[in-house]
Amino acid sequence: MHQSPSNAMRHVYGWLLLTPAAILLIAFTHFPTLATIYESSFSKGNLIRPSRFIGITNYESMLEDPIFWKVLINNFWFAVGTIPASVALAIAMALLVNRALPGRPFLRLAYFTPTILPMIAVANIWLFFYSPDIGLIDQILGWFGFPGHNWLGDPATVLPAIIVMTIWKEAGFFMIFYLAALQNLPPELEEAAKLEGASRWYYFRRVIFPLLMPTTLFVLINAVLNSFKLVDHLFVLTKGGPNNASNLLLYYIYENAFSYFDTNYAATLTVVLLAILAVVALAQFFLFDRRIHYR
């Protein structure tokens, strides 16, 4: 421990240095969290009936709200659809880029570029791909004689369509973290594996993958957080439709707060979102301690 000018002063200095950050964090993270929980216990106010305390009534309404359950399920499928696929792709991409394949810089560029684009731009581009009949995918299908499909207008295909688009955007982002981890692995490992005659797959499964565990966990946490934060594309693609088939929790919160002006119900929904995030945080905390394969 280093020597500060005076033992007592280090507390003062510490807190003073922290103050600007503390004020902002409290104002925009901690206080709003508490305020949200508080707001969720009041009713929507208007000219006729001012807002009043109603305890858990909002939560009861929420549990009876079919759209609420729909968005939760959608978020679940969205996460299940995007996360394993993009993580697997990211590992594969990282492995490919890590090898001295011809045209490596181009590969890296191609995989990573979607990450640099804002989701709203990605949605605009893919909106055209998914347009029925005149869109690119239907056109290409037409060349091969397949009929087109209303990808975004069919409740059965809208979520998969969005998942594919999201994987396209996210895989490259995760690839980077795996690339960093791979480049930190000692090269002797690969030599040793070759000498022992281990097959590539065995080498990957038993050596590389476990060593990538910390990265995988980090990437997973990021991916889960993103799956709740990422709703930009809904504004351009489907607005949650058809019939809420692509609606997600954060978008529903936005709708309630800014379209219906029911900030209290929006707060109720936000509390659920916060609870989910808290569970994720706890999971990360415990998993990191237990299953990490540190050297």
Partner 1 sequence: MFAKTRKTLTRLAMAACFSTVAVVAQASTELTMYYPVAVGGPLTKIVDGLVADFMKENPDIKANAIYAGNYNDARIKALAALKAGEPAQLSVMFSIDIYELIEQDAIVAFDDIVSTSEEKAWLESFYPTLMQNGRTAGKTWGIPFQRSTIVMYYNKDAFRAAGLDPENPPATWNELVEVGKKLTKADGSQWGAMIPSTGYPYWMFGALTMQNDQVLMNNAGDTTYFDAPATVEALEFWKNLGSKHKVMPEGTIEWGTLRKNFLEGKTAIMWHSTGNLTVVKKKAKFDFGVAMLPASKRRGTPTGGGNFYIFKKTTPEERVAAMKLIKFMTSPERSAEWSMKTGYMGVSPAAYETQKLQDYVKGFPYAAVARDQLEFATAELSTFQTGRVRKLLDDAIQAALTGSKTPAAALQEAQAQAKRLLKPYR
Partner 2 sequence: MSQAEIKRRHWTFLEALETVAAWFVAILWIAPLLYAFWAAFHASEYAIHFELFAPLTLENFREALSQAPFLRYGFNTFVLVTMLLASQLVICTLAAYAFARYNFAGSNIAFSLVLVQLMIAPEILIVENYSTLAKLNLIDTITGIGLPYMASAFGIFLLRQAFKSTPKELEEAARLEGCGMFGILWRVYVPLARPIYLAYGLVSISHHWNNFLWPLVVTNSVETRPLTVGLGIFGAPESGVDWSIISAATLLSVAPLLIAFLLFQRQFIQSFMHSGIK
Binding site for partner 1 (CB under 8 A): 46-49, 67, 131-134, 147-148, 150, 152-155, 238-239, 241-245, 255, 258-261
Size of the site for partner 2 (CB under 8 A): 98
Residues 133-152 that bind partner 2 (CB under 8 A): 134, 136, 139
Choose the contact partner of 280 out of partner 2, partner 1, none; CB within 5 to 8 A by kind. partner 2
Choose the contact partner of 244 out of partner 1, partner 2, none; CB within 5 to 8 A by kind. partner 1
**Taking Cα atoms as reference points, which of 238, 254, 271, 55 lies closest to residue 160?**
238
- In the complex with partner 1, the residue whose CB is nearer, 93 or 123, is 123
Measured over all CA atoms, what is the biggest interatomic distance in the chain, rounded to whole angstroms? Answer: 81
Query: What does the alpha-carbon distance between residue 249 and residue 45 come to, in Å, rounded to a whole number?
Result: 23
In the chain, where does DSSP find H-type helix? 7-25, 31-39, 57-64, 66-98, 104-116, 119-130, 136-143, 155-183, 188-195, 200-203, 209-211, 213-229, 232-236, 249-254, 263-291
Query: What does the alpha-carbon distance between residue 107 and residue 176 come to, in Å, rounded to a whole number?
Result: 12
C-beta of 110: minimal distance to partner 2 in Å?
4
Query: What does the alpha-carbon distance between residue 158 and residue 241 come to, in Å, rounded to a whole number?
Result: 9
Choose the contact partner of 145 out of partner 2, partner 1, none; CB within 5 to 8 A by kind. none
Q: Is 267 in the site for partner 2 (CB under 8 A)?
A: yes
In the shown chain, the binding pattern of residues 59 to 88 toward partner 2, with x for contact by CB under 8 A and - for none, equals: ------------------------------
Residues 4-33 that bind partner 2 (CB under 8 A): 4, 10-18, 20-25, 27-33
- Residue of 218, 242, 283, 287 interacting with partner 2 (CB under 8 A): 218
Take residue 28 and report the two structure tokens written for it: 């925009």
For the chain, the first-to-last Cα distance in angstroms comes to: 27
- In the complex with partner 1, the residue whose CB is nearer, 106 or 261, is 261
Take residue 46 and report the two structure tokens written for it: 């208007």
- Residue of 84, 118, 155, 210 interacting with partner 2 (CB under 8 A): 118
